[in-house]
Structure formats: structure tokens, C-alpha cells
Amino acid sequence: MAQGRDAPTYNGSSMSKRSGVALFLLLAALFLVVNRGAYKGYFQDDEVDNLSWAPNGPASAYLKGVLSPRFEPNNFRPVGHFYFHEAGLRFGLDFPKYVLAIHLFHLLNVWLVWLLARRLGAPPLAAAAACFFFALHMALFDAVWKPMYVFDVLCATFCLLSLLLYARGRWVLAFVSFWLAYKAKEVAVMLPLVLACYEIWFGKRRWKTLAPFFMVSLSFGLQGLLLNPNRGNDYTFRFTPAALATTAVFYAGRVFLVPYLGFLAPLGALLTRNRRVWFGFAMMGLLFVPMLFLPGRLFSAYCYVPFTGLAVAFAGLAEGVRPLWLAVFLLAWLPVDYQALRSARRETLANGDEAREWIATLARYARTTPPAATFLYAGTPGGYHHWGVEGALKYFYKGGKFDVLPLADRAALTQAGDGRTTLLSWNRATHKLDIADLAPGASDLSYIEIAGAAPPWQLEKGWYQLEGAYRWIAPMATARLQRPAGARQFELRVLVGAELLEKAGPLTVRISLDDRDLEPRRFTVAGWQTTRWDLPPKPAGPALVTFHSEPPFRPATDPRLLGIAIGGFGFR
């Protein structure tokens, strides 16, 4: 290729349009086969949160957001959120349709990578290898399995379009695409610097043409730094060496899916005079810059936009090796890639199965029952956070006004407020959601069966998540009961694990009822066991139960410090 400053043209060995289309369709088919499991997944918390509000309201609100030159402090990204607006109205909760949409966007981006690599002068074989590398790279797994990352995928689409249009002299359309890329995700703020790199290595250094791009980038960048409402949390930029060390190591490990190996990739730029390699690595590095100072937000899917630059660099590197060695590299890389797929797929599908069961149970409940004044939730399906629970409730109870509180929140334990309270209790062992309503003014129970939707608001300090028919407690835990008139016994039902006895030895449990200490009980055999204490007469009323279990136990794969597993307790 000539080394002049004129815009590059296609070169290298030719490929007919029919052959190119056939190869693309073959790659698309391979991608869909490899990622067919994505259609068996289900919505994660961010997706449910977006669907709870994005389909509501007029489309004009998104157009207004797209046109606004102001930074959105509430993380509103009108291009990606408009996708959820339209998809939510048309697809509802039909998850495979969301996956198909994001797969089509990804394949569009693969095609745009091809066009960009060819526009920069890469031969067909090298450009095809870059597309293969980008299409199947499992660092991008979440971006093509979870609709919540459509923001990254659409940002890449408009970044690539902007580059292609700019290279063809369509500067106005390139500017519009850049604007839309930023409105899809803020990482596009670095795109003008990528365009500057294009001018240095491939263009005619038309700096005046880039002036509008840089003005917009500077405006949005300064607004993002000065108006960012996040202080002291994971969304806070941290311009420190420690932050850079953390993020650089993480993202370098994503390049070839081997820790630290990505640090060697830029050496290719030092060992070659190929401008496509220089440009590709510069593009990747620049698009990574915003993420390098967010050590609290380390997600592999954030590689999606920068890896479009990695694909261009890969095309440049592929030019300098024989096809045989290129094939050897890809064949050696594929097992590592596939292993990453298997690992991520297992967890994603397991979380999806739990989320599907949780959402389906809540949907059946919402069809027949009006919303409560307060929803408490104890435990969530895999991967879900508070906003996912709240989003699901708002999705099914559109326009409803209610409070959503985690049961672990101390304020939630008081049962304060008017109206009905509903408990959503996720059983981690049975993978089932139990729903129970608590009428206003209901008194505490005198006996608590841990299984099902037992009232865990009576469980105060030291209780862990429900696991089947029991809950582990910390070495010290408290609960409250209502002592009935005539209660003569206190009962405790526990599950003593064989691992606990093997590692910690015989277990001693001490119980106090208010200010009265009951006789300690010792457990030396494994399995379910029930023990009782006789009680002297005492008037009915509230009772505070305190459990002490020793010695404490910490399993090898569990960070919790455990006492004993309790299946039920209370007055008889």
C-alpha cells in the first residue's frame, strides 16, 4: 500500500462479492450456533429495571434526549433506552426476541469491522480473520448474551459508522453518527481522538474538519467530570495509579483471555510499520480511557467498543504472517475462547433459570392480587439487586405506589406503616419464590417454621439467607416471638452438618429468653434434631430469643462465619 496521505483504497488479493457474502453468512451461522444457549437465558436486573419504565411515555421524550447537548446526570442514554422502549412495547417478556435483536446488531458490527478494515487497506484474508476474532471473542460474552449491554453494542455501531463515513468524506453524517454513539454510551466521547489518529496515518490532516467533533467531546467530557453526581461509589472516577493498575490488569487479561497476556499485544505496533496496527491499537487504547479510571466497574462487556479497534489491529498483524501461521494461532486460541464460553454460560443460564422462576411466580401473583403498601424481599435470584426487584414490581404494577425494602434493612423489620405488607422470600435451595401477605396489625408468631414464607421480619440480628428448610445463623443471633398464655415448653429444631462436626467438633447451643438462660444443649451427631426445654409459667407477651452457638464454623468455600442451621423454633 502506498504510504502517502491520501485516503486509502482497497488493495491486496481480490474477493468476489458472492464469496464475501457466503463467508459472512457462514460466520454468522457459526456465531449463532456457538451462542445458541443465549436464547435459553432470561432477564437480569438491569433489563427488568429498564423495562419497568422505558416502554412508558411518548417516543418524543427520547428524541428530546438525543437532541439535548446536556450531560444526563441520571444515566439516561436515549439511544439505548429507546431500544428498550420499542422492544418492551413489541416483545414484552419474550426474552429470545431481545437476544435475536442484539445478535443482529452484533453481526452488523462484524460487517462494519470488515468494511473499516478494508477501507484502511487490509487484504481480504486479514480483514476476514479480524472479523472472525471479533465475532467469536468470549470477552464479549455478556454483550451478546445479555440485552442490558445493548448500550455498548449500539455505541460500537455508531462509532464504526462515524469512522467509515468520515473516511469517505461524509463529515456531516459522520458527526451525526458520533453524536448518536455518545447518546448510546459515554465511552464515545473519545472518538474524536480516534478520528485524529485517522487523519495522522491515513488522512490529509484536515484539522478544521475535526473541530466540531472536538468541541462536542470537550463539552460532554467537562460536563461529565463536573456534573457527575456520583461521589465515593463505584461510578466515581478515580484518577490514581492504583485505579489504573487495577483496571489495566483486568482489561489486559481480556485481550487473549489469559491474565496479563494482553500487555504484550501492543508490542506488535512497535515491531511493525503497518499503520493499521498503529491505528487499531490507538483506537482500542483511546476508547478504553474512560474505563481505566473506574476500578469499581470492571466488566468484560465493557471491552466491546474498544475491541473494534483491537479487531483492526488484528487485521494489520494478520497481514504480516503466512496464512498457515494465522490458522495455527486461531486454532490455538479457540479452545481458550470456548472454555471462557463454557464457564460464563454455566453461570448465566443458572441465573437465568432462577430469574425466570422468580418473575413467573410474581407475575401469577400480580394477576390476581392488588399491590401491597409495602413489599419486603428476603433473598433474590442469582445476579439480582434491589433495582431488579423494584423494577419487576413496577413492571407488573404499572403506576402503583408502594415501598420496596430489603428485609435486611433495619427499617423494614418494624412492620411500620399503613396497609398490607407482602413478603417475597426467595428460597435459594429449592429455587422457588414464596409470597406471603401480612395484614395490618398482625401480631408476631409464637413458633417460626423457617421453610417457605415464614415471617423473617421476626428474625433480627445474625440470620443468613433461606436455604431450603433452614437458615444458618451467625455464632450469635436474635429473634422475637409472641409468647402465648400457657406456654410450657420451648422447642428448637436444627440441622447439624457432618462437615461442621468434622471440622469444628461437637456443637453447643445456648438460648436466652429475655433475661432467662436455658440449659445449654450439645449436639454430637449429624442430621435433623429437635430439642425442648421446660418453662415455668409466665404471662403472655413479647419475648426476645438470643441464640449462642459455639464453636464458630467457616466452610472452605464460604466467607460467612456460621453457627448452626435452624429449621424451626418457638413456644409449645
Determine the 3-state secondary structure of 532 from DSSP.
strand
Q: What is the pTM of this model?
A: 0.84
Work out the number of other CB atoms within 10 angstroms of the CB of residue 480.
16
> What's the pLDDT at 444?
82
> What's the chain's Rg over C-alpha atoms?
29
Task: Answer yes or no: are the C-beta atoms of 65 and 73 closer than 8 Å.
Answer: no
CA distance 172 to 144: 30
Work out the number of other CB atoms within 10 angstroms of the CB of residue 363.
13
Helices (H), 397-443: none
Task: Answer yes or no: are the C-beta atoms of 107 and 296 closer than 8 Å.
Answer: no
Cα angle value 415/418/420 (rounded, 5°) = 70
Give which of 84, 93, 73, 75 is closest to 50, Cα–Cα.
Answer: 84
Q: Which residue has the cell 422492544?
A: 87
For residue 271 the three cell numbers come to: 515491531
Burial class of residue 382 in the structure, from the number of CB atoms within 10 Å of its CB (0-12 exposed, 13-18 middle, 19+ buried) = middle
pLDDT average per 10 residues of sequence, the chain (572 residues): 40 68 94 97 96 93 94 89 97 98 98 97 95 97 97 98 97 98 97 97 92 96 84 83 94 94 85 92 96 93 97 94 92 94 95 96 95 88 93 94 80 58 84 81 82 72 85 94 92 92 91 94 95 93 95 86 94 90
